[in-house]
Amino acid sequence: MQIEKLGDISIYISNEHGFGTDAFLLADFAGVKRGDKVCDLGTGCGIIPLLMCRSNPPRRIAAVDIQQGAINQLKLSVEENSLGGTIIPIHADLKALSLPLGDAELDAGRFEIVTCNPPYKRAGSGIINENSAHSIARHEIMCNIDDVCSAANKLLKFGGRLCICQRPERLADVICAMKSNGIEPKKIRFVSKNSQTEPWLFLIEGRKGGSPFMRVMPQLYIRSQDGFSDELKAIYGNIE
């Protein structure tokens, strides 16, 4: 395990629990505000909650993961950054959130925002990594997109937002899961390496109880002729 600096934030990373560009994009897309109460489902090393705390952190972030190792790792980062009053690591199965919620930090209907960087691959598809932590993060072994949307419906206030990133081939699955759980897709943004390549990711926001209308945002490009695009540099921020 080692510490990586993200500007003013330090994060513990390991072979089992790390992060990629998609976490930066989702944290930025969620657009949290200082007074928000946020829940990050499948938090892993806690990269999304930690990025949210780089500037104008929300009031509280419940960081949920089914893997005890991930939660233990996040607790180290929380302590390292003195964020004990802001990020609350919670060892829980998001599917159990359909039951009466026993944890005061997971009160039903109290959250303005739920985020999730979910497993991208359906169970049984692709090559399963022998490292179980990687398999859980990448394949729908412990939960699927419907489980995520069902949990978000329980947690969100009316009008609250669910923000997810996923691969384009799963777009229909995500929209169907949102709508079947009372969350209306409201805006979507596709992410490409550059203007000549197909999207490799999309970011989508749904609102609990929202009316049908979805905005397609301008495409986000990761690279320019000179390296990273200006927008990605702004999203990454001041990283040492």
Structure tokens at 117: 């960087």
Whether 63 and 88 have beta carbons less than 8 Å apart is answered as: yes
SS3 77: helix
| pLDDT bucket at 103, cuts 50 / 70 / 90 | low
Most confident of 62-76, 95-109, 135-149: 62-76
CATH of domain 2-184: 3.40.50.150
| pLDDT bucket at 98, cuts 50 / 70 / 90 | low
Average pLDDT over residues 202-231: 95
- Convert the pLDDT of each residue in 11-46 to its tens digit: 999 988 899 999 999 999 999 999 999 999 999 999
Percent residues over pLDDT 90 in the chain: 75
Average pLDDT over residues 216-225: 95
Q: Where do the domains of the chain lie?
A: 2-184
Nearest CA among 184, 235, 190, 191 for reference residue 205:
184
Nearest CA among 91, 114, 100 for reference residue 44:
91
Q: What's the pLDDT score for residue 163? A: 98
Which has the minimum average pLDDT: 77-81, 132-136, 184-188, 219-223? 132-136
Q: Report the DSSP pairing between strands 215-216 and 199-208.
A: unpaired
Predicted TM-score of the model (pTM): 0.90
Instruction: Tell me how far apart the alpha carbons of residues 224 and 15 are, in angstroms, rounded to a whole number.
Output: 30
Average pLDDT over residues 162-171: 97
| pLDDT bucket at 109, cuts 50 / 70 / 90 | confident
**b/e map of 199-215 (b: 16 or more CB within 10 Å)?**
eebbbbbbbbebeeeee
Average pLDDT over residues 76-102: 87
